[in-house]
Structure 1
Amino acid sequence: MSQTPDAPPHLDAGRVSTAPGLFVCFEGGDGAGKSTQVRLLAEFLDRDGRDVLVTRQPGGTTLGAQIRELVLHGDHVSPRAEALLFAADKAHHVDELIRPALSAGRVVITDRYTDSSIAYQGAGRELGGEEIRQLQHWAVGGLLPDLTVVLDVSPEVGRARRGDVQDRLESETDDFHHAVRRGFLDLAARDPDRYVVVDASLPPEEIRARVLARLEEVLEERR
């Protein structure tokens, strides 16, 4: 007698609360315009009287900056070592910066978080999305964003936007970046309540408006 396979675990299994703070993450392929949208959202929330912390990963701490230099600008790093270095950055970043800010009631906006590793190392490096998801979520102790904005961009457009100066991951082939893009879209499709996907080719102000509309829905649900 055949058995029905177990359903895959929900992406938010073991998730911990961000209250009293608010946690927003921007994800997407290289050249998607994340830095611009992080800045626009931070400026809006600051004008609205919110206490905002802007950070990025890898980076955001002294250790994170050193890891960033290793994985993005150093010599060759094996795929599994790369995944572990990104996980170490997340673990330290959450303990030292993100969790204390949320506990103080601040809004944390990050340029990349766990989903980047799931997409880049899990899908792009073919290490397995579920394996990397478990590693990353263990590293951050179940602390996931209230809203993750995926800025969707094709590898070809992303490469044109980046120009000639590219880091180790940016310089990978278009096949790699297509796999990364599919990784992000798959994550968003599996958990639509926590994600919003926005076409990164839209004008920045229109992207900002869509992000704010979705954020307002998240805030209303929390109320």
Structure 2
Amino acid sequence: MDADRALLTPRGELVRGCAEALAEKLAGLPVGTARIDLDMSGVHFMDSAGLEFLEVLRDHGRRRRLPVTATRWNGQPRRILELAGLDTTDPLRSPAPHGTPPPAPSAVAREREERLHLLQEEVEQLRQAVASRPVIDQARGILMATYGCTSDEAWHILREASQLANTKLRAVAESLTACAATEGTPPPEEVRIALSRAAARRSSR
């Protein structure tokens, strides 16, 4: 105790039973305690029980109408707070007033954003691949009939032609199917050359 301020210094791990231990400690504080501060620098591990620990402290402060803080987080407990979306300076801090600039994003938040962006790109690629499947299958059929090759060989010809012409595989397939249609237009010259070269390479192997 420092006058009417209580300083608690938890040590070790915040695991099952820690919330109950804190509740017992809080109940034993002297009457007239006007503030409770927790120095968390001695805590090196916590699981979900650590969040219950914080709720006990928060509820005590609300019931007694006194300020409570839990500061100096580090290591694994700090990362748990980040993952939970809590303020790592003091997870018990009241929300900032309206109009206050948001804090700088944490490393975990940036990592989440990057992973989300990669997942969105992957989903978009898969969506395009599914949408392209019918026209690609048609183009493979055309190549199989034209060159007397297997389905796998037709796929390799398409893929190699796409690389040689520096054109998306779907665009190569679309030009082939358009050419095969009634009154269809021939593929662009660079695609025709790329297809011929790719087919010649395949037949020579």
| TM category, shorter | under 0.3
TM-score (norm 2): 0.23
Structure that is richer in helix per residue: 2
Which structure is higher in RCO with an 8 Å CA cutoff and minimum separation 6?
A: 1
